Amino acid sequence: MNGTNKEVWTLAEVRGKTIHPVSKELLAWGRELADPMRVPLASILVGSGVAPRAEELIAAGADKVYIVDDPSFENFLCDEQVGILEYLTDKYNPSILIASATTRGRTVMPMLSARIGCGLTADCTELSIDPVSGRLIQTRPAIGGNVMADIKTRGRDPQMCTVRPKSKRPLDTDRSRKGELIKVSPPQSLLGSALKFLGFTPETSVGLPIQEAEIIISGGKGMKNAKNFAKLEELARLLGGTVGASRMAVDLGWVPYSAQVGLSGKSVTPRIYMAFGISGAVQHIAGISGAETIIAVNHDPEAPIFRVADLSIQGDAMEILDALIDSLKKEQSERWTLTAD
């Protein structure tokens, strides 16, 4: 193993031959650590045919990009990715490695942590550098979101963590930035997987994945049955949003797990979060703490979600939902008539 490199690394994510936007969010996180440490910020880019896109990461804030470009990485296979990351960390020994708390980040980072024997803090909401020790301080919700815990990982570097998607805006793109592109050719023994890629079936839910959505329309047990979630989908279409759900609605089989919002599902940071018939368990409230505006509709005046809502509406969720849909349809119809005239 080489001596300590002291670089801050972020793990870029690739979809096909495209760099996922979360990769640029990670560079905003990394920049805030690398600058006070006075060390380079690097991004790790692993994929097939992705080398031509590496300059995008320089423009987004990276000082270096380590590129592993090989046809074997055409599809995401977690054991192959972990093997490459283990090779890179042993070869270059960075100080910090940050990934996004997406499905890929949550799969790869724990495996890598166990493989190389270093600490990992998941789902962080804030990162900073201890001015005394120079170690990474990782802040995340604990005890059902009731407290925020500051964590330092022990043992060997890299200090590893995942951060919530959509919790920081990317830096402004600067195509005049210059950086170093480092192409890495790992041993052939690492270019293979024990897994076989069978195919990919995209989600059929309305709108973007909930962690990428700016507007989320969520439902809970107060929606009464699975059929009524069609009304949430209709409202989501009218507002350009995405449908989410409480754990109770998912456990009842009304919606898939991919829609679950909360610490046991996905933490979200939309501009607007609308909750219909959701009482507000502590895990759910912790998962929406990053929302800019929370609008809650519930028949129970003592519903815990009202304590965090910016706008609270007491009443039957279905009646209010129907009235809102009708109002939006009427407004859109009138707007279309005026445009036609």
* pLDDT(220) > 60: yes
Q: How large is the average pLDDT for residues 74-82?
A: 90
Query: 296, 255, 289, 290: which is closest to 274 by C-alpha?
Result: 296
Residue type, 21: P
Same domain, 61 and 183: yes
Count of alpha carbons within 13 Å of 141, Cβ hemisphere only? 20
Residue type, 61: G
Q: Is residue 2 part of a domain?
A: no
Q: How large is the average pLDDT for residues 30-51?
A: 95
Query: How many structural domains is the chain composed of?
Result: 2
Cα(328)–Cα(159) distance, integer angstroms? 49
- Residue 311: give its domain's CATH number: 3.40.50.1220
Range of the structural domain that residue 112 is part of? 8-190
Q: State residue 207's pLDDT score.
A: 62
Q: What is the pTM of this model?
A: 0.72
CA angle 217, 124, 10 (to 5 degrees): 105
Same domain, 172 and 217: no
Query: 105, 74, 97, 142: which is closest to 283 by C-alpha?
Result: 142
2 pLDDT tier (thresholds 50, 70, 90): very low
Same domain, 182 and 326: no
Q: How large is the average pLDDT for residues 331-338?
A: 71
Which residues, 6 or more positions from 64, have their beta carbon under 8 angstroms from its beta carbon? Answer: 7, 40, 41, 42, 43, 179, 180, 181, 182
- For residue 260, with 0-12 CB atoms within 10 Å meaning exposed, 13-18 middle and 19 or more buried, which class applies? buried
Q: State residue 3's pLDDT score.
A: 45
Q: State residue 164's pLDDT score.
A: 79
6 pLDDT tier (thresholds 50, 70, 90): confident
**Are the beta carbons of 93 and 4 closer than 8 angstroms?**
yes
218 pLDDT tier (thresholds 50, 70, 90): very high
Q: For residue 53, give both structure tokens.
A: 């896109």
- Residue 135: give its domain's CATH number: 3.40.50.620
Cα(41)–Cα(265) distance, integer angstroms? 31
DSSP β-bridge partners for residue 245: 219, 260
- Give the domain-ending residue among 157, 190, 223: 190
Same domain, 216 and 72: no
Q: Is residue 58 part of a domain?
A: yes
Same domain, 100 and 53: yes
Length of the chain measured in residues: 341
Percent of the chain as helix, strand, coil, to the nearest 5: 35, 25, 40
Q: State residue 320's pLDDT score.
A: 95
Q: For residue 122, give both structure tokens.
A: 């998941």
277 pLDDT tier (thresholds 50, 70, 90): very high
Same domain, 183 and 235: no
Q: For residue 192, give both structure tokens.
A: 């293979």
Q: Which three-class secondary structure state does DSSP give residue 276?
A: strand
* pLDDT(165) > 90: no
Q: For residue 130, give both structure tokens.
A: 């201890």
* pLDDT(4) > 60: no
- Give the domain-ending residue among 159, 190, 221: 190
Supply the mean pLDDT for the chain: 89
Q: Is residue 197 part of a domain?
A: no
Same domain, 169 and 215: no
Same domain, 153 and 298: no
Helix axes 78-92, 103-116, angle to 10 degrees: 50
Same domain, 101 and 234: no
* pLDDT(1) > 60: no
Same domain, 157 and 25: yes
Which residues, 6 or more positions from 71, have their beta carbon under 8 angstroms from its beta carbon? Answer: 48, 49
pLDDT one-digit tens code per residue, 52-76:
999 999 999 999 999 999 998 988 8
DSSP designation for 172: P
Q: Is residue 199 part of a domain?
A: no
Q: Are strands 180-183 and 126-129 parallel, antiparallel or unpaired?
A: unpaired
Q: Is residue 1 part of a domain?
A: no
Which residues, 6 or more positions from 220, have their beta carbon under 8 angstroms from its beta carbon? Answer: 245, 246, 248, 249, 275, 276, 277, 278, 279
Q: Is residue 20 part of a domain?
A: yes
154 pLDDT tier (thresholds 50, 70, 90): confident
- Give the domain-ending residue among 123, 155, 190: 190
Count of alpha carbons within 13 Å of 197, Cβ hemisphere only? 14
Same domain, 171 and 228: no
Q: Is residue 321 part of a domain?
A: yes
Count of alpha carbons within 13 Å of 154, Cβ hemisphere only? 0
Cα(157)–Cα(116) distance, integer angstroms? 9
* pLDDT(274) > 90: yes
pLDDT one-digit tens code per residue, 281-321:
988 998 898 789 999 999 999 999 999 999 999 999 999 99
101 pLDDT tier (thresholds 50, 70, 90): confident
Q: Is residue 75 part of a domain?
A: yes
**Are the beta carbons of 273 and 267 closer than 8 angstroms?**
no
* Cα dist from 79 to 123, 145, 157, 237, whole Å: 21, 32, 21, 38
Share of residues in the chain with pLDDT > 90 (%): 66
Cα(207)–Cα(134) distance, integer angstroms? 42
Q: State residue 51's pLDDT score.
A: 93
Same domain, 38 and 139: yes
Greater model confidence, 331 or 10: 10
Q: State residue 145's pLDDT score.
A: 58
